[in-house]
Structure 1
């Protein structure tokens, strides 16, 4: 299983936001210049190989990254694109003891979702981690 905690640690290592500003789950008083890592709901059938689960070699973890940055639209946009480019240029990735076979960006670019009630601009990046199942 690929857990959000491991993904959070990986995103933190990209050095976009300081470590304590990369979080999973709900953070009631979000700090500026933070990134949230969330599970993303999906639909459709499970991917199970012929022969059953023991023959299934990979699984998918759909994730949404929320870039909650600053009251500067320009700074927030540049930060979101910086993260997007780092994700797009990955050549090899292992999170914990889980090998990631493929990182599928589900949007062509970071998506502008406006600002929160405090005027802090936000962008979202949807991606899928396709990873080797530990059997």
Structure 2
């Protein structure tokens, strides 16, 4: 699983004018960017890697949404809600679960232009093979 696939999954469920992977362009007032982040330590099952049934992908999503707090918070919550307790497929991988790292999107204030930002961190657990 790669970040572009996670972005495409979110993009199919969330309305947003600009989507990015790995880097956000400063000029956009409304955007969602998908970044890598630290996930759980890898585990090797008894019997070796060939016996592994699942993989993980750690993701951080930045919701960068205008100069009004409430619409920014609402958009971030919309992203959170499309993950929490849900399943589906990302790329060719069946999602087992989205392990949300916080109970809600985390507000991180505004950028230098006064646009509100929220972060959503999670780990995707998916079936291998």
TM-score (norm 2): 0.92
1:124 aligns with 2:119: yes
Task: Report how far residue 45 of structure 1 moved.
Answer: 3.4
The counterpart of 1:25, out of the listed 22, 33, 36, is: 22
Counterpart Cα distance in 1 of 2:85 and 2:36: 22
Q: Equivalent residue for 1:14? A: 13
The structure in which a higher percent of residues are helix is 1
Task: Report how far residue 47 of structure 1 moved.
Answer: 1.4
1:34 aligns with 2:34: no
What is the total number of aligned residue pairs between the two structures? Answer: 129
Runs of 4+ with >6 A deviation: none
Deviations 1:18-39 (A, max 9, x none): 3xx1110113325121101011
TM-score (norm 1): 0.88
Gaps of 5+ in 1: none
Matches for 1:98-117 after TM superposition, within 5 Å: 98-117=93-112
Q: Equivalent residue for 1:5? A: 4
